[in-house]
């Protein structure tokens, strides 16, 4: 009888609680080209199209990585365009910009910075916060 109760409790916990479900971080992005207020009136370059990412739920990130999707699909060890890893004292994050310095994270390779993104190329963003993970594909449209 005791074994049956333990088995039923185990089935209940497995199927009706979130204890064994993977924790997923939902990610969104937005990008808006802008023209500089001073200087050239030429169209914004790809480097001037800021990408903003939102994460839900707000969390203390432990890793951020951006890779070109096509290269990653053929070689999952492709070099990332931007890669930050946990260092210490991370603060909860709800949104961040591509290439931004984020409290508690440092570049995987010391002294490196985010590489410029190219228009009309699909990239994949990976984020990790402890055991929670998320990924999001995005693309910068060419400025008109």
Indicate the CATH number for domain 23-35+44-139.
2.60.40
Contact 136, 27 (CB under 8 A): yes
pTM above 0.95? no
* Domains in the chain: boundaries: 23-35+44-139
Q: Are 138 and 50 in contact (CB under 8 A)?
A: no
For tokens 């001037």, the residue is 48
* pLDDT tens profile 21-38: 668 899 999 987 665 555
Strand 51-59: give its sheet, edge to edge: 26-31, 51-59, 93-97
pLDDT at 135 over 80: yes
Rounded percentage of the chain residues whose pLDDT exceeds 70: 81
């Amino acid at each position: 009888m005791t074994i049956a109760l333990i088995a039923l409790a185990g089935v209940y916990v497995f199927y009706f609680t979130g204890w064994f479900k993977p924790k997923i971080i939902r990610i969104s992005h937005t990008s808006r080209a802008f023209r500089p207020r001073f200087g050239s009136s030429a169209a914004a370059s790809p480097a001037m199209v800021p990408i903003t990412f939102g994460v839900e739920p707000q969390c203390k990130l432990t890793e951020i990585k951006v890779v070109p999707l096509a290269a990653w699909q053929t070689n999952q060890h492709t070099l990332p365009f931007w890669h930050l890893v946990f260092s210490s004292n991370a603060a909860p994050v709800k949104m961040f910009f591509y290439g931004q310095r984020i409290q508690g994270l440092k570049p995987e390779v010391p002294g490196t910075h985010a590489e410029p993104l190219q228009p009309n190329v699909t990239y994949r963003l990976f984020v990790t916060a402890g055991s929670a993970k998320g990924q999001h594909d995005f693309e910068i449209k060419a400025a008109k």
